[in-house]
Structure 1
Amino acid sequence: MNIGIIGAGHIGSALAVRLTGLGHAVLIANSRGPETLKDVAQKTGATPATAQEAARHGDLIVVTIPLKNIPELPKDLFEGVPAEVPVVDTNNYYPLLRDGRIPELETGDLTESEWVQQHLGRPVVKVFNNIYAQHIEHKGQPAGTPGRISLPVASDDAAAKQKVMALVEELGFDAVDNGSLHESWRQQPGTPAYGADLPAAELKQQLASLGTERTPAQHAQFAANHAAQEREMMKQPQS
């Protein structure tokens, strides 16, 4: 496939390494321009590009930039991109570490990816947000391997979701359907699925146990869990 990745941080770079290794043609973009991506290109095998070039590269687009920067993406980013091209959102909301407070995400009415979808004006598929970048790069395993890591995939676009789930499987992970984008809160930070690398049966059980509509108590609990995780992350030395 031709795949465009917008964002050359940890997740974007890890996906680029794996996808080029599988034979896909990958264009990768950041906010500073293709000329700043020589090291990333050397490491990943992806071709540096502008965001518009990456978005128009063909079969699938991954948006993996800090959440607070989503509104700054070019308004014409997806102009001319066919409606059937899936747009993957890998984002998480880190109010303490990175993003500041985004009022629409504080109430629990919107999930992170619903907010991203509103800003992009395109249906998105939420995946790769609950796994560490180095695990994307190094922990994929053949189908049927005992303990194979599973990844939840949520979207309102059933066809796009199926395409992305097939790619997740190709990368060496079991793809688990996590329902609509409104249900994607079940894979956000602070929930049992976040960073847990669960096998499929266990992940399905965790998702089912949460129900489909997030209650105020669940929102408060997972927000508190996430804040505690963020405070721990802030104590770690920065690489």
Structure 2
Amino acid sequence: MNSVDIINEIKKRLLIECRIFDKSGVYGYTQTSLAFNYNSVEDNKLTRYQVISIFENGILPIENNENNKYMDVKDIEEITASFKMFKYLLNNIDRSLDINFIYEMYMNFIECFYDSFENNQFSLSSKDKENLENILNDYSDKKLNFEDIVKFHVLFLKAQPFYDLTMRIGKMIMFKQCLDSNIIPFIIRVENKDKHMHYLYKAKNTNSLDDLINFFKEEQENYLNDVLDLVVDYDILRSIKNRDKFINYLVYYY
């Protein structure tokens, strides 16, 4: 089994489990992990356990915490909005990444906060549209290499088309680009926020991507390690003598 086989299996499981709302596999893990990590970075106070409970049971357990006696409704809305945005991404995975796709991801998130509104209330400015179109024109091919994906991420965050949502949407875009291009996807963990921001700042200001690429590859290893048991048969896993080396090989050398 090689990395392409595993990526195809991850993609297949994500799509099937999303369609039938199977919460126990790679889809459930990815949904809750994305929602927890990408909102915690933006100061969402819900714990991983609470996020999983919202996803699996629709219930928010109250945890005893003397420093946080009150629950911010916005925190709950952000989590459900992330669930909706990632589900939209998977349901439209065969579409090419264009400005309409990205804008619709944004609207899937925003709609969780507003019952009714005029669409133009959250429309992109002409300048933001132009900046985004220019970036997309340079990365219009569906099959990208890993460096292309990282470059796009840096340029997208520089453009800042969606203000405080740009980071969350940019991370979701990378997940789609990896699946589209048969590259192992990844989730940037909240505990690695400082690393991400440091290497991102360096990439923005020096055009050096090496540290950011290596950091993302570490996160690829983390994601693959977390989902490997969910996408690879037990007998195949038993035949792997060194799991860490196997994962490292798939990420760096295959």
Provide TM-score, normalisation by structure 2: 0.29
Provide TM-score, normalisation by structure 1: 0.30
Compare the two structures and name the one with the higher strand fraction: 1
Compare the two structures and name the one with the higher helix fraction: 2
Question: Which structure would you say has the larger Rg?
Answer: 2
